[in-house]
Amino acid sequence: MTVANAATKHCKKAMKMGLSLFCRTFNSSKCKTMAKMTVARIKLLRNKREVVVRQMRRDIAMLLESRQDATARVRVEHVIREQNILQANEFLELFCELIVARLPIIAKQRQCPADLKEGISSLIFAAPRCSDIPELMRIKDIFEKKYGKDFVSAATDLRPNAGVNRTLIEKLSVKTPSGEVKLKILKEIAKEYQVEWDTADSEMELLKPPEERIVCLSSKIHLYLCMMPNTFDDHLTSICFL
């Protein structure tokens, strides 16, 4: 055997070992199991959450019927948040099913396939934001071993071109819903439960420009403080004369 042949044989052996080592970094069966467990968890949570949302919407309808609009405007935020989670979970369920269907492609290719980047990145993004679905963290760890920490952090931190689904980002956002959204859901609830609701007060309150809301809130706080008995000053005076 010549030196060249020996070198070629050694190179092929090294490449084969390297490929074998690479393949061991992605456990297809574990990924499939976690994805299916995630789907099962989402379905279980959906059933419970839908019951809760229906009850909350019914309670808000009763508040609107009894003209307790201010309380209804506060409680509707929680309804919106729960409905957003339901919609976000629908995306996550779809992405898990997509990954299960494309596992052979994921296992064969070293880089993340372009048509799967949105689904995989979205699951990684959701993992630390959906504590009630712990299986997502396992999926995140699996893909971190497959694609590296940079790929995972890009999705988690929403770096440019991370590929995370924009609607999912919006639905998992913790920001307060806008006045327009609150009013829309309140109208939906009133229509659903056939409540004859005068929307004038809520429209005036919810559709105010942000700066007017701040001024209004400041005025209310100032008025409240002025009406409070000056107990703190009286207490200080009594201490000074001790």
Shared domain for 134 and 71, answered yes or no, is yes
Q: Which residue, 156, 171, 186, sits at the end of a domain?
A: 171
Model pLDDT for residues 153-168, shown as the tens digit of each residue:
999 999 999 999 999 9
pLDDT of residue 24: 46
Q: What is the pTM of this model?
A: 0.77
Flag whether 103 is in a domain: yes
Tally of domains within the chain: 2
pLDDT value, residue 240? 44
Domain span including residue 212: 208-242
Residues 166 and 89 in one domain: yes
Q: Confidence class of residue 209 from pLDDT cuts 50, 70 and 90?
A: confident
| Cβ contacts of 57 within 8 Å, gap of 6 or more | 79, 189, 192, 193
Express each pLDDT in 44-81 by its tens digit: 999 999 999 999 999 999 999 999 999 999 999 999 99
Q: Is the pLDDT of residue 40 over 60?
A: yes
With bands split at pLDDT 50, 70 and 90, how would you rate the model's confidence at 239? very low
What is the pLDDT of the chain when averaged over all its residues? 86
